[in-house]
Chain A
């Protein structure tokens, strides 16, 4: 069964040469004759009414072509149909420091920057909200008038009977967990190039072309259509190479809309590229989260009930927020067997950059809380962390209490793999013995999972989530037209592999044309790890469709039944005869087909056939040519929509969480803790990931390592540092993205629980491994020191203050009065000198006070 020609073999990404030579083009690498540069003016205040914008002085500056403001394009949009609360540029209010106020279009970047200084904006400051628990109490000065108490959305779900579940429990642990805010920080800053064509018939503005660093070209086309009042058919979105996304490009980022609006007003091509700082302000990352979690367990280790209350500090706009808060509850299920679940989720608006979808969307922070608490429960009932996890496995195929269908389930094998490889029990015992000085060492175990695409799309409809077209060329070339957006994860390569495997041709024949709304059929984008599963299935079906036509022609030529035609490695032959590569007489044909162009080849092949009569094998090329002679054009089409029974329960909000398949991950972390400095060093991570079938093992491994690595960043050092709504660390260095010397060895194990519905059995590989590593580190710190950290990231000051507490040493306040072992609230870093909690009333000594309140020159 696993005898594939291409599937399961490690292959280089088909676009890798473009990346290693510099030939590949990302959006900012593109330019056009007459192209202008756009620069955005951002709000200096977290919450304020705009009383006046006067761009006159800026417009007069030599080299400035136009200045765009909110009223130029006031239509509201947002990635979710329920969350249309953004405009291209602020119309009446700004809602976070960094909000978009105006855009200067000029002949050069430096002129545009100068002009920004000349725009006169008068603001009327409003009280601002930086803490979600405070924001929820607000009665007036709401961030959005239609959201009372600044609550974007709340959900209250009960599955099973949590009350009865807790009553059955022998042990219950309850606690508050707090997770800091992190962001994608993809290496490529966002960039968009937009221009209009002129219409030959009307002589007026014609089609809009947008090239952008996006994970979701189709949604971008849709939102551009809303904001610009232009039919989608008049808009072409092209995705060049994208330098990483991780969710940060999975919705419409302000510059994408602003560039199009600016191109319309300036009547010229406009490119906008964010600075790194602007990328941080655009954000859409993982929100700061407060999780109040309660879990009950029987003495034998089986879970009886879970109750979770989750508050997310969502920032100033809805973004993906409604989906995030739903994922946080829904994905309590489908990892372990939990009979009773209560979930209360609050997505709260605050005056900070909007949070959105980030790798492991919605699950990561709750998983940190849950897997930490599971270890606390195990300790309480005297069980090993390994045993308690094994005790609560699902028994698939099954449907969880909250309506998630689970079919393939490689979690048990994942756990076994990492426990064995890490020599779990022996190593833990050894470390206890060996490390009893100032440096302690321990192991932590944790698990996680993720969806292989959402079973319900953002815009509800019966439209397939992916459609793929295939065209066979005259000389046996294969062109695959897919809407899948390769953002570095390798989806173009995945598509090529599947097409080649199904068609029985070599990878070299495949050309992939991807993510261009004019050329490629609709695919809803690269998010929620849906592409391999959904676009992969659509590709498979398209290739099978085309193959049928080739086989029909080949069967005629070889005078056999269609069912008896086999195709592999560029050969076509009759079942029951020797595969051509095992024969000695194939030389002549290979030679003819190898290097001649379509027309010449056709003549010579027909000639050959006449001479030789029917045979029992032929080349792929020859078969393709006969199919074309027989049927004219040879093409194939395939589509994928998740099956009805995978789409989840009917409860309110039940559409988020269901997926046709889930990936699984288990990890063991080996960490050292310096009890004098609070520094945590992760020495090694063993990570096992169940991705169904690994279509391309190098790529799968790369995704798993990348996920674990990104999770380690969140566990140990990455976090947004806030002060009164001002982001204090908007740079790669201050944000502390780990470099090679800070990155430990990650040993990966691929577990293949062949999924019945995945393409060749494949599931997702890019996100599921991120969540486990954070609690695994927390559990390792506990194993090493006996100190339970409930606030992430586990920075030296948090670790040290926790250690001093368990050691009974004198308290040093390094964490703004928030005890990281029992955090009661989100903390502001570095105190609140200027605002002192009283909204925008700046301290009179604040040097930023005057210029911040009015930008008048």
Chain B
């Protein structure tokens, strides 16, 4: 298939890329931009490992055609896990996932980072039930999820105290 020139805005930066129109956003991020943080865990959009934020909303990059999300000034800003750290330091949620065992093998973690980021951006004080519901969009085979709840709560607390512990 012939390649086309597209423009993507990822983590605040614009990129001009020549890609096949049928190329998925996930593959474009991983192969053309070298942003391998977003993972592929399934063939049928069931795992959430590929989640990215599109203008703040979590989306499965394995179901999106890159060419359909060109930046047009008005939106289509993609945030990947590489864009979560703040000013060269771990964001509260990243630190908390490390401290509280929210991440074991880490393969699901980028997806969870995006899910949790969007949850807390929209709802800074979610209830336990809301956290559970939000996390159920992603699969993890290692943790049994329990320690993730601790991590999310710790991150909320750290944010509120303005610390990064």
The answer to whether A and B interact is yes
Is the CB–CB distance between A276 and B42 below 8 Å? yes
Known A-B contacts A732-B46, A740-B132, A746-B146; the reply to A26 vs B141 at CB < 8 A is: no
Is the CB–CB distance between B105 and A25 below 8 Å? no
Bitwise, B131-159 to A at CB < 8 A (1) or not (0) is 01101111111111111100000000000
Bitwise, A743-772 to B at CB < 8 A (1) or not (0) is 101100000000000000000000000000
Q: Does any Cβ of A come within 8 Å of B84's Cβ?
A: yes
The complex places the Cα of A483 from the Cα of B147 at a distance, in Å, of 28
A223-268 residues with Cβ-Cβ distance < 8 A to B are: 241-246
Q: Does any Cβ of B come within 8 Å of A22's Cβ?
A: yes
Interface centre among A23, A739, A740, A741 (most CB of B within 10 A): A740
Is the CB–CB distance between A17 and B105 below 8 Å? no
Is the CB–CB distance between B41 and A188 below 8 Å? yes
Known A-B contacts A243-B107, A701-B101; the reply to A187 vs B147 at CB < 8 A is: no
- The chain B residue sitting closest to A747, CB to CB, is B146
Bitwise, A1-30 to B at CB < 8 A (1) or not (0) is 000000000101101111111111110110
Is the CB–CB distance between B141 and A705 below 8 Å? no
The complex places the Cα of A275 from the Cα of B44 at a distance, in Å, of 10
Query: Which chain B positions have C-beta within 8 A of A746?
Result: 144, 146
- The chain A residue sitting closest to B41, CB to CB, is A187
Known A-B contacts A17-B98, A487-B105, A702-B104; the reply to A709 vs B144 at CB < 8 A is: yes
Is the CB–CB distance between A710 and B141 below 8 Å? yes
Q: Does any Cβ of A come within 8 Å of B103's Cβ?
A: yes
Interface size on B, residues (CB 8 A): 54
Total number of A-B contacts with CB less than 8 angstroms? 178
Q: Does any Cβ of B come within 8 Å of A733's Cβ?
A: yes
Q: Does any Cβ of A come within 8 Å of B17's Cβ?
A: no
A654-684 residues with Cβ-Cβ distance < 8 A to B are: none
The complex places the Cα of A186 from the Cα of B49 at a distance, in Å, of 12
Stretch at the interface among B31-39, B53-61, B63-71: B31-39
Partner of A488, one of B42, B105, B146, B148: B105
CB distance from A667 to the nearest CB of B (A): 13
Q: Does any Cβ of A come within 8 Å of B81's Cβ?
A: yes
- The chain A residue sitting closest to B97, CB to CB, is A20
CB distance from A108 to the nearest CB of B (A): 9
CB distance from B85 to the nearest CB of A (A): 5
Is the CB–CB distance between B107 and A26 below 8 Å? yes
The complex places the Cα of A17 from the Cα of B106 at a distance, in Å, of 10
Q: How large is the interface on A (under 10, 10 to 19, 20 to 34, 35 or more residues)?
A: 35 or more
CB distance from A772 to the nearest CB of B (A): 15
The complex places the Cα of A489 from the Cα of B141 at a distance, in Å, of 12
Q: Does any Cβ of B come within 8 Å of A277's Cβ?
A: yes
The complex places the Cα of A573 from the Cα of B113 at a distance, in Å, of 44
Q: Does any Cβ of B come within 8 Å of A706's Cβ?
A: yes
Q: Does any Cβ of A come within 8 Å of B109's Cβ?
A: yes
Q: Does any Cβ of A come within 8 Å of B8's Cβ?
A: no
Is the CB–CB distance between B94 and A741 below 8 Å? no
The complex places the Cα of A277 from the Cα of B44 at a distance, in Å, of 10
Is the CB–CB distance between B106 and A18 below 8 Å? yes
Is the CB–CB distance between B144 and A17 below 8 Å? no
Partner of B90, one of A21, A25, A490: A21
Is the CB–CB distance between A24 and B106 below 8 Å? yes
Query: Which chain A positions have C-beta within 8 A of B49?
Result: 187
Is the CB–CB distance between B46 and A16 below 8 Å? no
Q: Does any Cβ of A come within 8 Å of B121's Cβ?
A: no
The complex places the Cα of A709 from the Cα of B147 at a distance, in Å, of 12
Q: Does any Cβ of A come within 8 Å of B80's Cβ?
A: yes
Query: Which chain B positions have C-beta within 8 A of A795?
Result: none
Known A-B contacts A705-B147, A746-B146; the reply to A21 vs B82 at CB < 8 A is: yes
Tell me the B residues contacting A by CB distance below 8 Å: 30-31, 35-44, 46-47, 49, 80-82, 84-85, 90, 93-95, 97-101, 103-110, 113, 132-133, 135-148
Knowing that A26-B39, A698-B101 touch, tell me 5 more A-B residue pairs with CB under 8 angstroms: A275-B43, A706-B144, A709-B146, A739-B135, A740-B132
A-B contact pairs, 30 of them (CB 8 A): A16-B97, A16-B98, A17-B94, A18-B106, A19-B98, A20-B84, A20-B97, A20-B109, A21-B82, A21-B94, A25-B36, A26-B107, A186-B105, A187-B39, A187-B47, A276-B44, A488-B104, A488-B106, A488-B107, A489-B104, A699-B101, A701-B101, A702-B104, A705-B144, A709-B146, A710-B144, A731-B43, A732-B44, A741-B133, A745-B146
